[in-house]
């Protein structure tokens, strides 16, 4: 096979892929229902004459996508696992966005006069329910991990913080979430005491040690790690770092 033949085949293959990605009918045939829905909406929006193939594709893809989503929700609920509410809410939102996408086209009549038929799910109340339960799952999971953190597990404290942070997907303010996040930060932070010892023969200026310490710890002080240059009374440090100066060039 010559290089020219290979190049021709590659170009043809690329063309087929591009055609498939830009063709809602092909997307529907491949089971990519949501992509078919949104591409069909794009093809139909703003057009006075609505092509039959796009109207039919939208109707079919929408129906199949909704059916698949509702079956997934039913299965997730049957498992009776609290964490499933996160996935259920994602599906509810997907259904909501899909329905909102086609609403501006309704009533949708193809150029042959046939009106498309869409069965909408009454999603608002369902989404509110799953949102509440998903947020509650993250909240209780955060509190569970925070209890482990109170026994010295700093990793659990950081995981607890992430659980509380996830609640922000659903609510701006939720119960005592902010207070618990601050507590998680306090329990999950590693405290390091940074010391300097002068073992050289040089007499250092009064502010030399302070400035050198600042330069040395600038890159070390970050989230979940706090560097103190002076010991704080009552604080049990996780680590102590000692810098020993043995020689100073003038």
Write out pLDDT tens, residues 172-202.
999 999 999 999 999 999 998 988 787 777 7
**236: which 2 tokens?**
């049990």
Alpha-carbon torsion (116, 117, 122, 123), positive or negative = negative
Q: What pLDDT is recorded for position 103? A: 98
Give the orientation angle of helix 84-102 with respect to helix 52-79, to 10 degrees: 160
User: What's the maximum distance between 2 C-alpha atoms anywhere in the chain?
Assistant: 97
The mean pLDDT of 105-121, rounded to a whole number, is 97
Instruction: Please give the Cα distance from 162 to 177 (Å, whole number).
Output: 11
Instruction: Please give the Cα distance from 93 to 250 (Å, whole number).
Output: 67
Beta-ladder partners of 225: 190, 222
Spatial contact of 116 and 59, defined as CB atoms under 8 Å apart? yes
Is it the case that residue 214 has pLDDT exceeding 70? no
First and final C-alpha spacing in the chain: 73
Instruction: Please give the Cα distance from 212 to 227 (Å, whole number).
Output: 14
Is it the case that residue 73 has pLDDT exceeding 60? yes
* Domain-wise residue ranges, the chain: 11-121, 133-188, 189-245
Q: What pLDDT is recorded for position 209? A: 61
- What does the DSSP assignment read for the chain? --HHHHHHHHHHHHHHHHHHHT-HHHHHHTT-HHHHHHHHHHHHTT-SS--HHHHHHHHHHHHHHHHHHHHHHHHHHHHT-TTHHHHHHHHHHHHHHHHHHHGGG-S-B-TTSPBP------HHHHHHHHHHHHHHHHHHHHHHHHHHHTTT-HHHHHHHHHHHHHGGGT-SS-TTHHHHHHHHHHHHPEEEEEEEEE-SSPPPPTTHHHHHHHHHHTTT-BTTEEEESSPPTT---SEEEEEEE-----
Instruction: Please give the Cα distance from 139 to 161 (Å, whole number).
Output: 10
Give residue-wise pLDDT tens across range 138-180: 999 999 999 999 999 999 999 999 999 999 999 999 999 999 9
Spatial contact of 68 and 39, defined as CB atoms under 8 Å apart? no
Please tell me whether the overall predicted TM-score, pTM, comes out greater than 0.95 for this model. Answer: no
| Arithmetic mean of pLDDT over the chain | 88
């Amino acid at each position: 096979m010559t290089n020219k033949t290979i190049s021709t085949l590659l170009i043809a293959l690329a063309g087929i892929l591009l055609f498939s990605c830009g063709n809602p009918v092909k997307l529907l045939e491949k089971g990519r229902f949501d992509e078919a829905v949104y591409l069909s909406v794009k093809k139909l929006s703003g057009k006075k004459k609505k092509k039959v193939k796009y109207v039919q594709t939208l109707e079919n893809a929408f129906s199949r996508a909704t059916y698949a989503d509702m079956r997934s929700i039913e299965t997730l609920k049957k498992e009776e696992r609290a964490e499933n509410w996160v996935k259920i809410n994602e599906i509810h939102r997907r259904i909501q966005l899909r329905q909102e996408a086609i609403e501006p086209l309704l009533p949708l009549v193809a150029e042959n006069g046939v009106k498309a038929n869409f069965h909408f799910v009454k999603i608002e109340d369902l989404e509110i329910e799953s949102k509440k339960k998903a947020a509650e799952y993250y909240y209780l999971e955060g509190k569970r991990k925070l209890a482990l953190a109170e026994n010295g597990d700093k990793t659990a404290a950081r995981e607890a913080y992430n659980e509380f942070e996830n609640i922000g997907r659903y609510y701006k303010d939720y119960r005592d979430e902010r207070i618990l996040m601050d507590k998680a930060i306090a329990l999950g932070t590693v405290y390091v005491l940074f010391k300097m010892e002068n073992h050289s023969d040089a007499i250092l200026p009064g502010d030399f040690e302070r400035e050198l310490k600042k330069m040395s710890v600038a890159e070390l002080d970050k989230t979940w790690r706090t560097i103190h240059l002076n010991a704080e009374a009552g604080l049990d440090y996780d680590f102590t770092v000692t810098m020993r100066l043995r020689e100073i060039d003038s």
